[in-house]
Structure 1
Amino acid sequence: MARSSSGLVAGLTAAALAGVVFLAYQASANMPDNLAAPGSQSPAPSASASGSPEAKPADPLAVPADSGTGARVVYALADRRVWLVDDKGEPRTFTVMPSTVDPKPGTYAVTSRSGKVAGSDGTPIEHVVRFATVGGVSIGFSAAVDGSMASPDPSKKTGGVRMKRADGDAMWKFAAIGARVVVVP
């Protein structure tokens, strides 16, 4: 009897050890890069198009440093965020839902505005502030009348950068024809 129980214990121990090894492997395979072992090399900072390391502001809600100065609308593509910066440098910021067609980073001016129209996706929208055209698609900020900010259909070329209605009201009051719009990556 002792012989069979020692075999059973050995088998259970081997199975438990195999389970621990498997779980350790799973954990290491799914470990984020920023949790590297102490003393290991951290990844080098990524470079922007200009070749310099990207400088993310300490405050994620801070106006991007590379957006210039003065009164302007700043649209950060990667952050899906807009800032309305007044003459005193005081910003109002909010999130947006990008369209399927993005403008290239650069400086633009508001070219046209519409109070209420149907969006290119058929949704009734208001406070449309257009500032660019990419491949025949007009790019502009707007708010859906129903308040929705759904992801656009990726199979359609749309240029509406959607925001909440209160943010659309603020954009409408802030961005007159000719207002500067700075798009950053």
Structure 2
Amino acid sequence: MSRSSSGFVAGLTALAVAAVGFLAYQASANVPDELASPKKPGSSAAGSPAGKEKKKDAHAVPAASGTGQRVVYALAAKRVWLVGKAVGQKPRTFVVMPSTVSPPPGTYQVTSRSGEITGSDGVDIEHVVRFANVGQVAIGFSAAVDGTMVKPDPNLKTGGVRMAPADGDAMWTFAPIGSKVVVVP
């Protein structure tokens, strides 16, 4: 082989290696987290300082919900937290089925409670804890006696934020009249 053709082949080889390296880099950058190989402790993603990466806990109490003992209702997450006063006490959290009418974000107080009644949608409910009014609609947490959490009829204006019976029991015990309720987006 002549000197010029061996230089040409070496150049093509270098170009091919660079192309394969680039494609491998592109492929690794587009791998979903759940398919990527686990990172070693203390390692971090490129461009972020070591130790600064923390995975957000989807069940963590929203930061903008204030402090102290309170009920937190996150509208978008469809989740409630019962946050106690005791330092280190883990909040109880659970999913809810929102009503057709929701309160605007803000701070409220429990204004009334009912042990067992028929809801505005005709469902027998228990452990009703009311905390807001939007127009003529009373907003409150409740549990259907039959344990269902059915999506409400969008044609009705209802204010019942439904939860499982066990969560309703916990809410009833946790939130007497005057308790703080914080609604976040």
Q: What residue is the counterpart of 1:71 in the other structure?
A: 69
The CA RMSD measured in Å over matched residues stands at 1.5
Once the 2 structures are TM-superposed, how far is the Cα of residue 90 of structure 1 from its aligned partner?
A: 2.8
Q: 2:117 and 2:163 mapped to 1: Cα distance? A: 15
Q: What residue is the counterpart of 2:164 in the other structure?
A: 164
Q: What residue is the counterpart of 1:85 in the other structure?
A: 83
Q: Deviations over 1:136-185 (max 9, x none)?
A: 10000000000000000000000000000000000000000000000000
Unaligned 5+ residue runs, structure 1? 1-37, 40-56
Q: What residue is the counterpart of 1:7 in the other structure?
A: none
Q: Deviations over 1:61-106 (max 9, x none)?
A: 0000000000000000000000000002530000000000000000
Unaligned 5+ residue runs, structure 2? 1-28, 31-54
Q: 1:90 and 1:130 mapped to 2: Cα distance? A: 24
Q: 1:85 and 1:138 mapped to 2: Cα distance? A: 23
Q: 1:79 and 1:67 mapped to 2: Cα distance? A: 14
Q: 1:67 and 1:94 mapped to 2: Cα distance? A: 16
Amino acid at match of 2:70: R
Percent identity of the aligned residues? 71
Q: 1:86 and 1:125 mapped to 2: Cα distance? A: 25
Give 1:114-125 correspondences, 5 Å limit. Answer: 114-125=114-125
Q: 1:92 and 1:177 mapped to 2: Cα distance? A: 19
Amino acid at match of 1:67: S
Amino acid at match of 1:174: F
Q: 1:130 and 1:111 mapped to 2: Cα distance? A: 6
Q: Deviations over 1:30-86 (max 9, x none)?
A: xxxxxxxx69xxxxxxxxxxxxxxxxx800000000000000000000000000000
Q: What residue is the counterpart of 2:126 in the other structure?
A: 126
Once the 2 structures are TM-superposed, how far is the Cα of residue 135 of structure 1 from its aligned partner?
A: 1.0
TM-score for both structures, normalised by structure 2: 0.69
TM-score for both structures, normalised by structure 1: 0.69
Q: Deviations over 1:5-42 (max 9, x none)?
A: xxxxxxxxxxxxxxxxxxxxxxxxxxxxxxxxx69xxx
Give 1:31-180 correspondences, 5 Å limit. Answer: 58-88=56-86, 90-180=90-180
| Structure index of larger Rg | 2
